[in-house]
Homo-oligomer: A and B are copies of this chain.
Amino acid sequence: MKVGVEDIKCLAIGAAILGAGGGGDPYVGMMMAVKAIEENGDVTLLDPLSIDDDMFIIPTAMMGAPTIMNERIPSGGETIKSLHALEKHLGRKADATMPIESGGINSTIPFNVAARTGLPVIDADGMGRAFPELQMETFHIYGISGSPAAITDERGNTCIVNTVDNFQLEWIARGITIRMGGASHIAEYPMTGKDVKATGIHYSISLGIKIGKAVRGVGVSGKTALERLIEVTEGTTYGKCIPLFKGKIVDLERRTTAGFAVGNVTIEGLDEFQGKTLKISFQNENLVAICDGEVIASVPDIISILDSDRGFPITSENLRFGYRVQVVGISTPEIMRTPEALKVWGPRYFGYDFDFIPLELRHKEYYSRARLPPEKMVKYRDILR
């Protein structure tokens, strides 16, 4: 598949929805990739299950607090510098690059790298969404080393980091990123085609493009953005997109600390959610959604805040008091919900004292707990679909 300018514009939207509020404002990454493709031509997106086992892939990404990324616009060359530094360190050229996350800016960063270097991009990633830390990767969970990694900044500083495990990689690379001003450019998790087949979340990038296309309404008509989003997600490896809440942002607490954008957003219900209050906690990404004291969605499932008008995603650092929003939950692929995976990105890892319950089960539970008569519940869901 060839990825052109329109596809990148769709991916920016789709990936921001999968990004669960994190991964940075896709606008910056989109502009970089669009410019690179306009100058160098479309990028080849490779089927992750059809590549050679011994293909050599170096994923590329940005690291840091999205609040800071938005204020330190990259020139576009920094990530390529990271890629080349890692290639030089390894003594081996990459045959392709790949996103490490299918959310936010990091879904489009590899397209900028690919367009400028002539490399293809693999249609897969390691997060299936956005997550705040480097070891939060199916690559890590299923045995791939994130090291050696290359980290650069826009000043021209470069570090090669080689750690004994991926937690140490996150810890040290985060320290470097903080010293680089809170945002950096990385090349890491160098791996083979065989590794991608065994440990990647496949087709997440083309799904991001599809979701973006649906929400933007390209080729679809007569349906709301939310309806199209639900439709396009159904039947994919993700499976379900569930409308969780609708309301107005009435409180927002957000700070950049230890290299992350962390905080809480409080949303007062509107329409059928009148009288209810939803609180979403985030660490770059939305982690947990609590409605009137009850958890209604949690990591690793995706909690996304969309603007009520267009269904466009709002990333954590772009949330503002007074915004009218639609909150949706998207269930994540099974590879992300295994016991090994939940140890890495389940609610307990983030300090919450409860186990992960799949969104589609919580959703059922939530409506029954709200004691809605079954017929009303069906009606409500029908309306949304």
Does A161 count as interface, using CB distance less than 8 angstroms? Answer: yes
Q: A180 contacts which of B156, B162, B172, B174 (Cβ < 8 Å)?
A: B172
Question: Is there contact, CB below 8 Å, between B157 and A168?
Answer: yes
Contacts A175-B176, A176-B175, A178-B175 given; does A89 touch B160 at CB 8 Å? yes
**What is the total number of copies of this protein in its complex?**
2
Q: What per-residue 1/0 map shows which CB atoms of A157-171 lie under 8 Å from chain B?
A: 111111110001001
Contacts A89-B89, A176-B176 given; does A162 touch B157 at CB 8 Å? yes
Q: A13 to B85, alpha carbons, bound, how many Å?
A: 43
Question: Which chain B positions have C-beta within 8 A of A160?
Answer: 89, 159-160
Q: A249 to B323, alpha carbons, bound, how many Å?
A: 62
Does A155 count as interface, using CB distance less than 8 angstroms? Answer: yes
- Residues of A within 8 Å of B, CB-based: how many? 21
Contacts A89-B89, A159-B159 given; does A175 touch B164 at CB 8 Å? no
Does A255 count as interface, using CB distance less than 8 angstroms? Answer: no
A159, A162, A178 interface centre (most CB from chain B within 10 Å): A159
Does A72 count as interface, using CB distance less than 8 angstroms? Answer: no
Q: A161 to B150, alpha carbons, bound, how many Å?
A: 10
The chain B residue with its CB closest to the CB of A168 is: B157
Question: Which chain B positions have C-beta within 8 A of A180?
Answer: 172
Contacts A175-B176, A179-B175 given; does A164 touch B155 at CB 8 Å? yes
Question: Which chain B positions have C-beta within 8 A of A161?
Answer: 157-159
Q: What per-residue 1/0 map shows which CB atoms of A75-114 lie under 8 Å from chain B?
A: 0000000000100010000000000000000000000000
Question: Which chain B positions have C-beta within 8 A of A164?
Answer: 155-157
The chain B residue with its CB closest to the CB of A163 is: B157
Question: Is there contact, CB below 8 Å, between A171 and B179?
Answer: yes
Question: Which chain B positions have C-beta within 8 A of A171?
Answer: 179
Q: A89 to B162, alpha carbons, bound, how many Å?
A: 12
Q: In the complex, which residues 166-223 of chain A have their Cβ closer than 8 Å to any Cβ of chain B?
A: 168, 171-172, 174-176, 178-180
Question: Is there contact, CB below 8 Å, between B176 and A172?
Answer: yes
Question: Which chain B positions have C-beta within 8 A of A168?
Answer: 155, 157
Question: Which chain B positions have C-beta within 8 A of A163?
Answer: 156-158
Question: Which chain B positions have C-beta within 8 A of A162?
Answer: 85, 157-159
Q: A179 to B171, alpha carbons, bound, how many Å?
A: 7
Question: Which chain B positions have C-beta within 8 A of A89?
Answer: 89, 160
Q: A320 to B82, alpha carbons, bound, how many Å?
A: 48
Q: A180 to B250, alpha carbons, bound, how many Å?
A: 41
Q: What per-residue 1/0 map shows which CB atoms of A122-159 lie under 8 Å from chain B?
A: 00000000000000000000000000000000011111
Question: Which chain B positions have C-beta within 8 A of A85?
Answer: 162
The chain B residue with its CB closest to the CB of A171 is: B179
Question: Which chain B positions have C-beta within 8 A of A176?
Answer: 159, 172, 175-176, 179
Question: Shortest beta-carbon distance, A77 to chain B, in Å?
Answer: 14
The chain B residue with its CB closest to the CB of A162 is: B158
Which 5 residue pairs of A and B lie closest in terms of their CB atoms, listed nearest first?
Answer: A175-B179, A160-B160, A156-B164, A157-B163, A158-B162
Instruction: Please name 9 further chain A to chain B contacts, defined as beta carbons within 8 Å, in addition to the given A155-B164, A175-B178, A176-B176, sorted by A numbering.
Output: A89-B89, A157-B163, A158-B162, A159-B159, A159-B162, A172-B179, A172-B180, A175-B179, A176-B179
8 contacts between A and B (CB under 8 A): A89-B160, A157-B161, A157-B172, A158-B161, A158-B162, A159-B159, A159-B172, A175-B179
